[in-house]
Amino acid sequence: MTTPAVSLQGASLSFGNRVLWHDLDLEINPGEFFAVLGPNGSGKTSFLRVLLGLQPLTHGSARINGSSVARGSRDIGYIPQQKSFVSGTPLRARDLVGLGLDGHRWGVRLNGRRHRRRVDELLDLVGASSYAEAPVGLLSGGEQQRLRAAQALATDPKVLLCDEPLLSLDLHHQQAVSALINTQCHEQNSAVVFVTHEINPIIDYVDRVLYLAGGQFRVGAPEDVMTTEVLSDMYNSHVEVIHNEGRIIVVGLPDATTHHHGEED
Amino acid sequence: MDLNEFMNAVFNFEDYSQLLPLVTNSLIAGAVLGLVGGLIGTFVMMRDLAFAVHGIAELSFAGAAFALLIGANVVFGSLLGSVVAAVILGVMGMRARDRNSIIGVIMPFGLGLGILFLSLYEGRSANKFGLLTGQIVSVDTVQLNVMLGCSLFVIVALLAIWRPLTFASADPDLAEARGVPVGKLAIGFMFLLGLAVALSIQIVGALLVLALVITPSAAALRVTASPRLVVGLSVIFALVSVVGGILLALGGRIPISPYVTTISFLIYVVCRLIGARRDKLGRTRRSASPDIAAVKVTAA
Ligand SMILES: Nc1ncnc2c1ncn2[C@@H]1O[C@H](COP(=O)(O)OP(=O)(O)O)[C@@H](O)[C@H]1O
Ligand SMILES: [Mg+2]
């Protein structure tokens, strides 16, 4: 039996008396595309922070590849919730990707040529070669997001954590970025944990979803979780889920439809 | 010998070559501080700390004024005030907005203290003035050694934390996830910044520190985004401003700080113009975001 890429046992997380989830048992396998859905503030980012070793669980345990979560694990690639770079940032696209490769090391970089070659490969992988030398602050959200993907793929991670990577991207970039992540999932057999507001852009890739709402959670295939009954039960009010031509439309979410506007803080 | 006596006594253009050896100490100090200012300035810009530098400078001024009052070493007083202010800001004000309000509170307090100490001080008034507007021409060998030692420390420490500090400054979320000690680096950086500000004050004075710590890097950022070039240019700009300022001041009756600030300002203006031109050309030259077909992936 293979070691699960991610495993949570009896995991609970609360802040004060606000419970985000309680008693969550979950295993995510290598090569699985796993989506995390839920309204704002339901704990999606916190879920990723637990896996990154940045947020201790209130109860239970979290493991990555069989060992307890730890900050700075090279097994994890991470695309943080989008925050665009300001125009004065003294970094070009290639420098940003380079930091994803060795930014955690002390001192100044000495192995220039090898580093450069690896950065070129990563830029090529995400289709960002044409703006490798451009200042990151001048790139569009979609272009910056590809660089984020390149950073996340830099260590050939076994687990790829993506926090709303499609937010504020146009349709083309949404497709490109999710296809890229799906490729990593299937060709490199990485587990992907994909936090998103909107399941439709990735509906063709998703194996299972974790739906967080109102301190509860449900795990399962999208067609089992994304139903009128389940969501109505979780939100404690009537929610209509329509499946149409392979898309899932959720209607009547109570106040949770509020969209993100840029950063949360 | 104080600045005015010095100028009155020896100023003469014909004697320039004889004057030069007299300011060797100042020139060395200026060059090293230019290096420090140029190096640290890049991070000050990235971390949005311009206002913090100003706040630190005022507390540094208070420290120096106190040292002057009690007859202690001014450089040490200035270092102490600076480092205390910087570390307080580092610990308390992680978020930009909190930080700015804390600075807004600390800055007038520091200036007020400094003025109090100065008005109690009964020594030469040129010393008082120097703390606010610069005094490097009177650098003696002891001061020079303290400054060189501190500068060397700042430079070596900065190089040691260079990469993770860049990472943490540009991209704190990812840096944190990659195991970079973002919070500790922030405090460590503030400590180094405190040292650098105190040192710069010895040249340009508390009121004009930004000319040495911000302007050169801000200028460099207008013309390039390559990290190496930014650092290289900002060091060169800072060096040219300080050394140029000292050399020019030698030929006039004015203190050096106006020269330093004017040179660095002019460099900034020129860089802005070049940057504006470059932006206009660059936007059209840079290929637009690549077509979807360029992505080397196939949806599985
Ligand atoms: N360190 C923390 N301390 C206290 N509350 C927190 C902390 N981190 C997150 N929260 C709260 O937990 C909830 C979930 O946050 P988050 O995981 O960012 O939600 P999402 O990503 O789903 O929008 C929010 O109400 C947030 O305010
Ligand atoms: Mg979030």
Task: Give B124-183 as a DSSP string.
Answer: -HHHHHHHHH--GGG--HHHHHHHHHHHHHHHHHHHHTHHHHHHHHH-HHHHHHTT--HH
Other C-beta atoms closer than 10 Å to the C-beta of B107 total 19
Residue B131 near residue B65 (C-beta atoms within 8 A): yes
Residue nearest to atom 27 of ligand 1 (CA): A41
ipTM: 0.91
Q: Which residues of B touch A189 (CB under 8 A)?
A: none
Residue B57 near residue B85 (C-beta atoms within 8 A): no
Mean pLDDT for all residues in chain A: 91
* pLDDT at res. A261: 40
- A263 occurs within a structural domain: no
Distance CA(A19)–CA(A162), nearest Å, equals 23
* pLDDT at res. A264: 40
> Which pairs count as long-range contacts for B96-104, CB under 8 Å and 24+ apart, including other chains?
B96/B48, B99/B51, B99/B52, B100/B51, B102/B55, B103/B51, B103/B52, B103/B54, B103/B55, B104/B55
Note the helical H segments in A62-104: 93-102
Amino acid at A37: L
Residue A81 near residue A95 (C-beta atoms within 8 A): no
When pLDDT is cut at 50, 70 and 90, the band that residue A37 belongs to is very high
How far CA A265 is from CA of A81, A113, B95, B150, in Å, comes to: 11, 39, 10, 37
Please tell me the number of the ligand nearest to residue A164's CA. Answer: 2
Residue range B229-263, pLDDT digits in tens: 999 999 999 999 999 988 888 766 677 888 889 99
Least CA distance to A143: which residue of chain B?
A: B289
For residue A125, is pLDDT > 60?
yes
Would you state the structure tokens that stand for residue B69, as one six-digit string? Answer: 């009052």
Give me the residues of chain B with pLDDT under 70, please.
Answer: 1-15, 93-94, 96, 125-127, 135-139, 251-253, 282-300
Residue A128 near residue B182 (C-beta atoms within 8 A): no
Mean pLDDT for all residues in chain B: 84
Give the residue numbers spanning the domain of B49.
Answer: 3-287
Is the Cβ of A218 closer than 8 Å to some Cβ of chain B?
no
- B300 occurs within a structural domain: no
**pTM greater than the 0.80 cutoff:** yes
Residue of B45, B46, B297, B298 to mutate for A, most A C-beta atoms under 10 A:
B297
Chain A nearest-CA distance from B44, in A, is: 11
CA atoms within 13 A on the CB side of A153: 25
Chain B nearest-CA distance from A238, in A, is: 35
- A262 occurs within a structural domain: no
Q: Which residues of B touch A180 (CB under 8 A)?
A: 295, 297
Residue nearest to atom 17 of ligand 1 (CA): A43
Residue nearest to atom 4 of ligand 1 (CA): A15
Q: Do residue B173 and residue A136 have CB atoms under 8 angstroms apart?
A: no
Which pairing describes strands A33-37 and A208-213: parallel, antiparallel, or unpaired?
A: parallel
Residue range A157-171, pLDDT digits in tens: 999 999 999 988 889
Sign of CA dihedral B211, B215, B217, B220: negative
The DSSP element (H or E) to which A44 belongs, if any, is: helix A44-51
* pLDDT at res. A193: 98
Give the residue numbers spanning the domain of A224.
Answer: 6-251
Residue A5 near residue A28 (C-beta atoms within 8 A): yes
- A57 occurs within a structural domain: yes
In 3-state terms, what secondary structure has residue A92?
A: strand
- Using CB atoms, pick whichever of B180, B225, B286 lies closest to residue A90: B225
- A141 occurs within a structural domain: yes
User: How many domains, in total, are found in chain B?
Assistant: 1
Residues 6 or more apart whose Cβ sits within 8 Å of residue A180: A125, A126, A127, A146, A149, B295, B297
Q: Indicate the length of chain A as a whole number.
A: 265
User: How many domains, in total, are found in chain A?
Assistant: 1
Chain A nearest-CA distance from B218, in A, is: 9
CATH number reported for the structural domain that contains residue B220 in this entry: 1.10.3470.10
A62 burial level (CB within 10 Å; 0-12, 13-18, 19+): buried
CATH number reported for the structural domain that contains residue A112 in this entry: 3.40.50.300
What is the Å distance from ligand 1's center to A79 Cα?
18
Q: Do residue A179 and residue B176 have CB atoms under 8 angstroms apart?
A: no
* pLDDT at res. B100: 85
- A258 occurs within a structural domain: no
Residue range B155-193, pLDDT digits in tens: 999 999 999 999 999 999 999 999 999 999 999 999 999
Q: Which of A46-50, A79-83, B37-41, B221-225 has the lowest mean pLDDT?
A: A79-83
